[in-house]
Chains A and B, each alone.
Chain A
Amino acid sequence: MAELQPLTGYASVQAWFEGLHRHWGGDPEHDDPERLEIIEAFCRFADRDPDAVIAECLLVKDGEKRIRTKGRQRCADLIAEFQSGVEGPRMKRAKWGNTVRSFLIHNGIMLQSGVQGGESGS
């Protein structure tokens, strides 16, 4: 991976913030400064920039954007691995994993991972 540019310059990060704002309101870039830190950590872990992470989950066929099932599964596995390697309590690990999932979700990659925290998470 080439050196990461400032994350807010990536189209996928902008799309993520737009999605977060549209759905939940607020100022996604500033109301939780950890968001960008987490995405940057994931990108380094995955050795891809944010746009490449999204691109790996998508393909264009007959002019239409589609989900690349294997790419998404690889990414889901990578997030789980990333999450399990986060140092700290379970809730922190869940937050870091879910932040990356949120990044994918607001870029149109439908992704569920099950309960990550709370009374049933493990």
Chain B
Amino acid sequence: MEFKEVIGSRRSIRFFEPDKPVEREKIQKMLEAARLASCAVNAHWAKAIVIERDKLPEDKLEKMKTPVAALNIELAPVHIYWYADLGVVNRVQGSRLKELVDVGALAPTHGWSHKFVDELVYPQILKPMTQGPGYPIAAATDCGVAMCQAMLTGVDEGLGVCLSSFIPNIAKELFKVPDDWVPLYVLLVGYPAESAKGGGQRPRPPFEEQYHYGEYGTPYTRDEAVVEELKQAKMIQEPAQPNNQERTDEIKRLAERLGLPL
């Protein structure tokens, strides 16, 4: 699939084929994509624990279910639990930044040197940053970039994906999660039981409401020619519509097949 079509084809899949296993190599590809994500100060906060649902003892799987997150946990054959490893900055102490200097990604042209990292960046910026209230937000933002790359790679591999919340204290106990990892989301992975279109692209706020030009309040004007180009590239697809009989029928069929309430 072309890049733009991958973006356009992603849906939060909520009906997975429960008994169709996901190939291990596809999960690896998703994780490889996450590892390559852009990350501030090359810290790479994003950590993940991959759980194969059927390898979890039934009582442990039951513990992960709640009245608001029982179904997808049960349907998705693979769960990728994402965390922000808040301890990493003080463990690596700028060494990953110096790796960037060594390979020329950060160069003296932009003011970078080992000495700058050792004497200023780590002790005066990064270390204090880890004590600040905004630190977990910054780390989680970068983790989101990595998770997104994993998610889109899954779509490109023909998988269904859906980010979901989970019960952190139970996951911590079950998966032996280190104390300084902050829980983020679980990425549920499996083959979609629903159609790839899933009723169409899901509703989004108007473009001009989200993005501004020059200053807040001045919308970034949407060029319809660009929209048309993105439609041709299948990034912008048919929007989901309310009361879509085809989608309603699909949900009814899935509900009947899987034994779900209507």
- A interface, CB within 8 angstroms of B: 20, 23-25, 72-73, 76, 91, 94, 98-99, 101-102, 105, 110-121
Contact B262 A20 (CB under 8 A): yes
Contact A102 B67 (CB under 8 A): no
Binds A, one of B30-38, B69-77, B145-153, B175-183: B69-77
Select one of B19, B68, B74, B248 contacting A110, CB under 8 A.
B68
Residues of the B chain whose Cβ atoms lie less than 8 Å from the Cβ of A105? 261
Kindly state the interface size class of chain B when it binds its partner.
Answer: 20 to 34
Residue ID in chain A nearest B75 by CB atoms: A115
Binds A, one of B101-109, B114-122, B131-139, B251-259: B251-259
Contact A118 B259 (CB under 8 A): yes
A101 to B262, CA, bound (A): 9
Select one of B68, B71, B252, B257 contacting A114, CB under 8 A.
B71
* Extra inter-chain contacts (17) besides given A112-B69, A114-B70, CB under 8 Å: A20-B262, A73-B67, A101-B261, A111-B68, A112-B65, A112-B67, A114-B71, A115-B18, A115-B71, A115-B259, A116-B259, A116-B260, A118-B258, A118-B259, A119-B257, A120-B19, A120-B75
Contact A118 B71 (CB under 8 A): no
Residues of the A chain whose Cβ atoms lie less than 8 Å from the Cβ of B69? 112
Listed A/B pairs (10) with beta-carbon separation below 8 Å: A23-B262, A73-B67, A91-B259, A94-B259, A98-B259, A115-B260, A116-B259, A117-B258, A120-B258, A121-B258
Please report the number of residue pairs spanning A and B whose Cβ atoms sit closer than 8 angstroms: 66
Residues of the A chain whose Cβ atoms lie less than 8 Å from the Cβ of B260? 98, 115-116
Contacting residues of chain B (72-90) with chain A, CB-CB under 8 angstroms = 73-75
Contact B258 A115 (CB under 8 A): yes
Select one of B68, B256, B262 contacting A102, CB under 8 A.
B262
Contact with A along B222-262 (1 / 0, CB 8 A): 00000000000000000000000000100010001111111
- B interface, CB within 8 angstroms of A: 18-19, 65-71, 73-75, 248, 252, 256-262
A11 to chain B, nearest CB (A): 20
Residues of the B chain whose Cβ atoms lie less than 8 Å from the Cβ of A113? 67, 70-71, 261
Contact A118 B257 (CB under 8 A): yes
Give the secondary structure class of A's interface. helix
Residue ID in chain A nearest B248 by CB atoms: A24
- Which of B69, B73, B257 counts the most chain A CB atoms within 10 A? B257
Contact A102 B261 (CB under 8 A): yes
Residues of the B chain whose Cβ atoms lie less than 8 Å from the Cβ of A117? 258-259
B230 to chain A, nearest CB (A): 32
Residues of the A chain whose Cβ atoms lie less than 8 Å from the Cβ of B252? 24
